[in-house]
Structure 1
Amino acid sequence: MTGPVLRMESVRKSFGTTVVLRDVDLEVAPHTVTALIGASGSGKSTLLRCANLLEEIDDGAIWLDGEEITDPRADADAVRRRIGVVFQAYNLFPHLTVLQNVTLAPRRVHGLTREEAEERGMALLERLGLGAKAQEYPDRLSGGQQQRTAIVRALAVSPRLLLLDEITAALDPELVGEVLDVVRDVKGEGMTMVLATHEMAFAREIADQVCFLADGVVLERGTPQAVFEDARHERTRRFLRRIVEAGRL
């Protein structure tokens, strides 16, 4: 398939009287990374939740591989099986081991046998440096290891699209690097990703497309070089100046 993996057209979303997304257009090509940047409250997380149908949009349409997933006749559960999501909170089941957390969805939702799910899960854990932790419980892991496990769990279902929502926000600074290394590895495997992040240097490094959101509008989009070095909008430039002054770019 040569078209975009994800396409949003004129998407609007409000909570009560507060408009969170205003006529958002977005295209994500296969095997690319799109970074969503902007201040807290700009609509980044809501955009991701709409893409996964966790939030119902008020207007517009969303397509996944050319299929309109916001059509009322679409099977939302079937759509979500094709999209992996990792949130700020790890959301691991505390009573399950790392391997059990990783293999739960492949077995229960995708119908893999225990042997198939465990073989795939162990291969991913080994690849991302967690093989030795397979039989540990989440409370025995560092925050970085828990977040890496959450990424492995999302990858274990072989998603068409991976959505990452501020996945380093809850981590101590010294643990951020190990999680970002995993995202680099996943990009190297060709995964299509959309990530909302406050890690500007990382967004500049890893993204093929950067979108700056302000007040629910995609105010600016382009290559990392275009957005970070030659932003067209004063609001984008002002945001980036603050990031530079804070030593985060």
Structure 2
Amino acid sequence: MTGTGTPVLRLEGVRKTFGRDTVVLRDVNLDVAPHTVTALIGASGSGKSTLLRCANLLEEIDDGAIFLDGEDITDPRADADTVRRRIGVVFQAYNLFPHMTVLDNITLAPRRVHGTSRSQAQAHALELLDRLGLAGKASAYPDRLSGGQQQRVAIARALAVRPRLLLLDEITAALDPELVGEVLNVVRDLKGDGMTMVLATHEMGFAREVADQVCFLDGGVVLERGSPEQIFGDPREERTRRFLRRIVEAGRL
């Protein structure tokens, strides 16, 4: 599905440094159209996770601007909490509250942040759990779930706030190989629903399958962007070609 209209997310000239000398993002420009999936690929340390954290205002940028539905969310007058209510985030670590049941983990933000009634929040949470194949796990605690189940709960928690944009940061990195597929199937389903997503991933085959746009990051720069067919089939940049050759040699594409 190809999106049209105002980008859901736009980064213009974004620069991010840590300390005096560590430049993590350099003049990053990126448009994410509605109802599309953008995959961020590149070696560890290339800036993928930092880009996602900046997009959710978890990191403050040093220069440039970030827009959500045309609104400059990096303007000092923008309220970060209000912005985050429109963005769902799933990290590679599940970050579930261990003392809370699955149902309570999922309903916490809708109730506390969005003011949704308990009954409405629970009804929506149960719908999400049923859809994600976790219908019988509402009363379970996180330590009674497999890694794949915990990550699906984390996705349900992000979806519970009905986000405009979903950011996914290496969501299969902490999973055993046999559990990766069940989580990626969820992302496939969300793409079918038209959810706008940006995902940082080392799963090259999956990025090739699900993405509408692929961005190769190197040294904090979006060195190359294009369709999956172009990036994986005929990359323009030699650095991209070297990266993909190593992926093929490792049997990951």
Q: TM-score, normalised by structure 1?
A: 0.99
Q: Deviations over 1:167-211 (max 9, x none)?
A: 000000000000000111111111100000000000000000000
Residue 4 (structure 1) aligned to one of 3, 7, 11: 7
- Aligned match of 1:96: 100
SS in 1 for 2:66: strand
- Aligned match of 1:50: 54
Q: Deviations over 1:60-86 (max 9, x none)?
A: 000000000000000010000100000
Q: Deviations over 1:10-58 (max 9, x none)?
A: 0000001110000000000000000000000000000000000000000
Q: Any stretches of 5+ residues in structure 1 without a counterpart?
A: none
Q: In structure 1, how many angstroms separate the alpha carbons of the residues matched to 2:133 and 2:172?
A: 18
For the aligned residue pairs, the C-alpha RMSD in angstroms reads 0.7
Q: In structure 1, how many angstroms separate the alpha carbons of the residues matched to 2:165 and 2:9?
A: 8
Residue 123 (structure 2) aligned to one of 119, 126, 134: 119
Aligned length: 249
Q: Does 1:229 align with 2:233?
A: yes
Q: In structure 1, how many angstroms separate the alpha carbons of the residues matched to 2:109 and 2:94?
A: 15
Q: TM-score, normalised by structure 2?
A: 0.98
Q: Any stretches of 5+ residues in structure 2 without a counterpart?
A: none
Q: In structure 1, how many angstroms separate the alpha carbons of the residues matched to 2:178 and 2:48?
A: 25
SS in 2 for 1:36: strand
Q: In structure 1, how many angstroms separate the alpha carbons of the residues matched to 2:221 and 2:187?
A: 26
Residue 202 (structure 2) aligned to one of 189, 198, 203: 198
1:228 positional shift:
0.3
1:2 positional shift:
2.3
SS in 1 for 2:58: coil
Task: Find runs of 4+ consecutive structure 1 residues off by over 3 angstroms.
Answer: none
Alignment-mate amino acid for residue 61 of structure 1: A
Alignment-mate amino acid for residue 41 of structure 2: I
Residue 72 (structure 2) aligned to one of 60, 68, 74: 68
